[in-house]
């Protein structure tokens, strides 16, 4: 992965992770399971060591080949997992759907200075909706609003003013359902953020608390309906 990358792993595929030698910059990353029922993990080594083998471009490896294996007993869909991923842009390589904040193609312009890549994943009915948002310096991203589900806000570059607070890289804010979410404004260097709606059904009913509608919320409703069939 490169700086600015974000990816969605296809359901039912073994997750493999390892650090690339030679890097000097600190590493910060996080992962979200689209469906907690399929989040069971296994270890590849019990002595604390780990060796990441060569990963082919078309790698679609799975830790066990049979749906009769106990590994898959609690995974909905067996070795196919829950396949309900739909993304508005990006490319599929080796079991992942990849995007990057620096790419210019297919980002949706929502308001002047604010662009969005949207994705639905996890359970096909109630799974999360995530918006990757890139904003120009000082751009107003969202007004103060409320949703009927939890909201997750994670800056990955630049900074964001959220009410009286300033969120920067490394900060994670989780807003409980039906609580007010402060207006979000990009900092002087702009901002790249991930904004997750925990239950996609709530995207249709996000309410701006300043008494007016907002094009970002209109876009959420549109994305929720029109992202198309899962990958």
- Which domain CATH number covers 203? 2.60.120.10
- Cα(157)–Cα(4) distance, integer angstroms: 8
What domain count does the chain have?
1
CB atoms within 10 A of CB 191: 28
207 domain-assigned: yes
Query: Mind listing the pLDDT tens digit for each residue in 86-126?
Result: 777 777 765 677 888 888 777 888 888 999 888 888 777 88
Which of 164, 159, 116 lies closest to 138 in space, CA to CA? 159
54 domain-assigned: no
165 domain-assigned: yes
The domain in which residue 147 lies consists of: 103-226
Task: Record the pTM.
Answer: 0.74
Please give the helix or strand (H or E) that residue 218 lies within, else none.
helix 215-226
Q: What is the mean pLDDT of residues 68-79?
A: 48
194 domain-assigned: yes
199 domain-assigned: yes
Coil, strand or helix at 69: coil
Lowest mean pLDDT among 42-46, 155-159, 186-190: 42-46
């Amino acid at each position: 992965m490169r700086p600015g990358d974000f990816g969605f792993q296809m359901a039912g595929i073994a997750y493999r992770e390892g650090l690339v030698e030679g890097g000097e910059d600190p590493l910060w990353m996080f992962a979200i399971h689209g469906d907690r029922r399929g989040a069971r993990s296994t270890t590849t080594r019990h002595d604390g060591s780990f060796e990441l083998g060569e990963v082919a471009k078309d790698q679609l490896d799975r830790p066990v080949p049979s749906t009769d294996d106990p590994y898959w007993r609690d995974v909905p869909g067996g070795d196919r997992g829950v396949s309900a991923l739909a993304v508005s842009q990006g490319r599929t390589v080796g079991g992942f759907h990849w995007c990057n904040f620096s790419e210019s193609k297919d980002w949706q312009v929502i308001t002047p200075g604010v662009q969005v890549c949207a994705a639905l994943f996890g359970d096909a009915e109630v799974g999360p909706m995530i918006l990757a948002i890139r904003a120009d310096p000082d751009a107003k991203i969202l007004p103060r609003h409320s949703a009927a589900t939890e909201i997750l806000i994670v800056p990955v570059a630049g900074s964001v003013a959220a009410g009286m607070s300033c969120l920067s890289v490394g900060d994670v804010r989780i807003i409980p359902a039906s609580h007010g979410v402060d207006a979000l404004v990009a900092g002087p260097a702009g901002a790249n953020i991930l904004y997750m709606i925990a239950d996609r059904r709530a995207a249709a009913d996000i309410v701006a608390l300043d008494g007016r509608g907002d094009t970002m919320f209109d876009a959420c409703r549109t994305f929720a309906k029109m992202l198309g069939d899962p990958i």
